[in-house]
Structure 1
Amino acid sequence: MVDRPNDTTLSIFISNSPAPAPWNANGPLSIDSDGATIHLSGDTSEQLRAIKQAARKLSSLTRSASLQGDWNTDQSFAFCTAFNDARQTYKVQVAEQDVQLKNALAAHAFTVELINDTPQNVSPEALAQRAAKWLSGLSPEYISYTTITGEELLEAGWNGVYEVGRGSDRPPVLLDLDYNPTGNPDAPVNTVLVGKGITFDSGGYSIKPSEGMLAMKCDMGGAATVTGALGLAIMNGLAERTRLILCCAENLISGHAYKLGDIITYKNGLTVEVVNTDAEGRLVLADGLLKASEYQPKRIIDAATLTGAAHVAVGNHYNAIFSRDTALRALAMDVAEQVNEPAWPLPLEAFHQHNCPSPYADTANSRPQKGGGAGGASNAAGFLSRFVPDEGKGWLHVDLAAAFNSSATDTQPAGATAQGIRMLAKLLN
């Protein structure tokens, strides 16, 4: 193997031919005096996975790479996002200027940086402000926004966000952002994106163990993902009016925190008994979905790092999707395949609304057992479906099982992956 200092820019080639001797002919990688070559075989999914695996291996040789030869946008994106670290200190030079690639990498970098930042830096207010600032910078003439903060939430009736966030000294926030490129203030809203923005999740009084709490800065991954997706869609020329709602809170313990046995009354009159303060994401998203419904959009799409059950079901390479709108679910699956962001549908039926019963309220927010019991991801989606109109027509829920890795994998650096931003952006455009 060629010995290269860590600060040397390594040329990277791709080839559809097997690796030459003495390299393993079935292996994905060879290195010579010109640089490294990634050898591709199989279908597109297998090729992109091989590129990511090779990028991870090459990241141990150098922090700087230059892509040479005929790389397409998806191949370049796969390499650039895998050849990095949690602090985004690696650099990749791309031979030709590809606007689609440039936009995707910019949205990816924003999303990853926001999720990987410390929970001290990313308070609920900071999350809302950073999302609004970034999007406003992309399209200042078409974006306006408002925030509802702290006690204002209680006064406005957004009780889910308020209750989850009231235990923290840093107040909860509901961001409502309007992207309207039509110039018509009465233009209909095509899509509302809703993101779970729990900037740190201790679990509340249903407290997590330390090892389960360490990565909980990523619990605002839904908010970061929908923001990154909207930004990418804007950069790619989004022409439809779109709104973004972020439900931002810290789930902490204090004398003012919400407790097990509390009952939350939502704007639609539904009452919810809290049987697990660590099932807080659905409580804030319920407000976001109700707010989204007020705009009577064609579609509502929410994204959240919502359940460990989804991660158990699909692993860390897939996001889980839920919808009772079969056409929208099929479209989301098709788009996910087109942009090479693996996703998989999990069950959601009307009966899932009733799988968390309460003798004291219309429903509980979970089941009082570890992980919410069997079918926990579907039951969480069923809970959310109570807060969308038309029996879920036009609503898509994305449980971001692939949003974050506590340590590096064979295809991704440690930290945020931003998986989902390209799928959601393409659904918008």
Structure 2
Amino acid sequence: MADFTVSLSDEKAGAPWGENARLSFTETGAVIHLAQDSDSERAIAQAARKLDGLNLPAVTLTGDWQKEQQWAFALSFTRARHPGAITWADNDDQAQLAQEYAALVFTRQLVNDTPEDLSPETLAQRAAQWVKSLGQDKVSFTMTVGEALKDAGWVGIYNVGRGSERPPAMLELDYNPTGNADAPVDAVLVGKGITFDSGGYSIKSSEGMLDMKCDMGGAATVTGALGLAITQGINKRIKLILCCAENLISGHAYKLGDVLTYKNGVTVEVVNTDAEGRLVLADGLMAATETGAPLIIDAATLTGAAMVALGSDYHAVFSKDDSAREQMLNAAKLENERFWPLPLEAFHADRCPSAFADTANSRPMKGGGGGGASNAAGFLSRFVNPQGKGWVHLDLAAAYHGGATAEMPVGATAKGIRAIARMLHDFKA
């Protein structure tokens, strides 16, 4: 069978295809017409969705394609189920695109997997094994599982996950290309790995629960970013911490009114068991801070408030460190990924008050009330250094689409992996 080719043209499509047609077809494939579009990547994305709807097993990009044009095609063409293969245009971008695409496919497949097949332990194991396959003997890791989390003092991950028969897990992975066990840690990536989120006793509606297999999107995104950085040849010591749990209801589940005491002494009243992501991330951020790394990036599908603010087009960026925030935004801009800053001030740490603890994990109202994404970031700020130096929090509003759009397939997007990988390469304290 001959390859189905896809090429670009600056000319309008022929009259039979329609006045404003983006696509026309030839004997061997399709042509994407960019004549009337100032935003060529958006036009390519929309055309790629239409081609993806044909369930093509493979396509070959031919002719004159820029790198970002090929990437736009790949983001939109790669459907969740049985994605078609892509052969890149014959130019100097092939090797780089192959690296990025491998990380994209891994990240999307992990997020799109069923919650039955992806237990907390399985998530940690699959992430570790994939990074190990790339970094070989430069990668080592440990997992703390179930009751061992309680014994180690990781109360957030333990309590959120103890309602499930499948135990919670914390992955601590070390990519150390120096070979020196005493080498300083250059960066730590922390990911929220809630493999299914029922909301706990603050139970979600059926509709709200349907897509909650995606609540480990933060863990998948930072893992994909680290894997990409490794294939790009990064020569820095980087640690990966995944905070993995199922948030389910049972006689052993954590409850509203519980007070958790964290390793750093902070006490937290649980006023909403569906604000569980920040509870598990708190453990990961403390573990990251203990390394002394000058850069900590955490990523999480954390709040609906971030999606209300930004829709599903942008990831929200929070930091008390102006330099770190600007470097993260610049990395995203250079990688053509949409990140946008939202406010985080010292006072946000006090926006979830409690009469029974130092803080609550949310506010006892729908969605946590106004400014919920900033308040969640403020909660997390209690678990890094007091000034928040070198810490960047990403609320991944654009990580998953519950339905296909004109530009994106249903399911995981993997947006953010390129920007985070670049931040690992370029960050300067």
1:4 maps to: none
Residue 19 in structure 1 maps to residue 13 in structure 2 = yes
1:422 maps to: 418
Matches within 5 A, 1:71-220: 71-96=65-90, 98-220=94-216
Equivalent-residue separation in structure 1 for 2:280 and 2:295 (angstroms): 19
Question: Alpha-carbon deviation of 1:25?
Answer: 5.4
1:57 maps to: 50
1:243 maps to: 239
1:243-281 superposed Cα distances (whole Å, 9 cap, x missing partner) = 000000000000000000000001110000000000000
Q: CA RMSD in A?
A: 1.6
2:340 maps to: 344
Task: Indicate conservation of the 8 Å contact 1:320/1:398, yes or no.
Answer: yes
Residue 72 to residue 282, structure 1, CA distance change in 2 (3 Å)? same
Residue 256 in structure 1 maps to residue 252 in structure 2 = yes
Task: Indicate conservation of the 8 Å contact 1:73/1:100, yes or no.
Answer: no
1:48 maps to: 41
Matches within 5 A, 1:300-315: 300-315=296-311
Match of 2:64 among 47, 62, 70: 70
2:274 maps to: 278
The residue matched to 1:412 in structure 2 has which SS? coil
TM-score, with structure 1 as normaliser: 0.95
TM-score, with structure 2 as normaliser: 0.95
Task: Indicate conservation of the 8 Å contact 1:292/1:300, yes or no.
Answer: yes
Structure 1: which amino acid aligns with 2:307? H
Task: Indicate conservation of the 8 Å contact 2:17/2:24, yes or no.
Answer: yes
Equivalent-residue separation in structure 1 for 2:288 and 2:171 (angstroms): 11
Question: Alpha-carbon deviation of 1:185?
Answer: 1.0
1:405 maps to: 401
Equivalent-residue separation in structure 1 for 2:403 and 2:109 (angstroms): 16
1:288-331 superposed Cα distances (whole Å, 9 cap, x missing partner) = 00000000001000000000010111011111111111111111
Equivalent-residue separation in structure 1 for 2:36 and 2:120 (angstroms): 45
Residue 43 to residue 293, structure 1, CA distance change in 2 (3 Å)? farther
Task: Indicate conservation of the 8 Å contact 1:9/1:62, yes or no.
Answer: no
Long gaps (5+) in structure 1:
1-6
The residue matched to 1:344 in structure 2 has which SS? strand
1:39 maps to: 33
Equivalent-residue separation in structure 2 for 1:204 and 1:62 (angstroms): 38
Matches within 5 A, 1:362-401: 362-401=358-397
Structure 1: which amino acid aligns with 2:376? A
Question: Alpha-carbon deviation of 1:72?
Answer: 2.5
Task: Indicate conservation of the 8 Å contact 2:37/2:43, yes or no.
Answer: no
Moved more, 222-231 or 80-89: 80-89
Structure 2: which amino acid aligns with 1:56? R
Question: Alpha-carbon deviation of 1:34?
Answer: 4.8
Question: Alpha-carbon deviation of 1:187?
Answer: 0.9
Task: Indicate conservation of the 8 Å contact 1:8/1:62, yes or no.
Answer: no
Residue 354 in structure 1 maps to residue 350 in structure 2 = yes
Structure 2: which amino acid aligns with 1:329? R
Question: Alpha-carbon deviation of 1:65?
Answer: 1.8
Moved more, 190-199 or 323-332: 323-332
Question: Alpha-carbon deviation of 1:23?
Answer: 4.3
The residue matched to 1:259 in structure 2 has which SS? coil
Residue 403 to residue 33, structure 1, CA distance change in 2 (3 Å)? same
Equivalent-residue separation in structure 2 for 1:333 and 1:40 (angstroms): 29
Question: Alpha-carbon deviation of 1:27?
Answer: 4.2
Moved more, 34-43 or 47-56: 34-43
Equivalent-residue separation in structure 2 for 1:42 and 1:342 (angstroms): 24
The residue matched to 1:268 in structure 2 has which SS? coil
Question: Alpha-carbon deviation of 1:43?
Answer: 8.8
Equivalent-residue separation in structure 2 for 1:35 and 1:401 (angstroms): 35
Question: Alpha-carbon deviation of 1:139?
Answer: 1.1
Structure 2: which amino acid aligns with 1:215? D
Task: Indicate conservation of the 8 Å contact 2:9/2:35, yes or no.
Answer: no
Structure 2: which amino acid aligns with 1:14? L
Moved more, 56-65 or 142-151: 56-65
Structure 2: which amino acid aligns with 1:238? I
The residue matched to 1:257 in structure 2 has which SS? coil
Structure 2: which amino acid aligns with 1:239? N
Long gaps (5+) in structure 2:
none
Residue 338 to residue 28, structure 1, CA distance change in 2 (3 Å)? farther
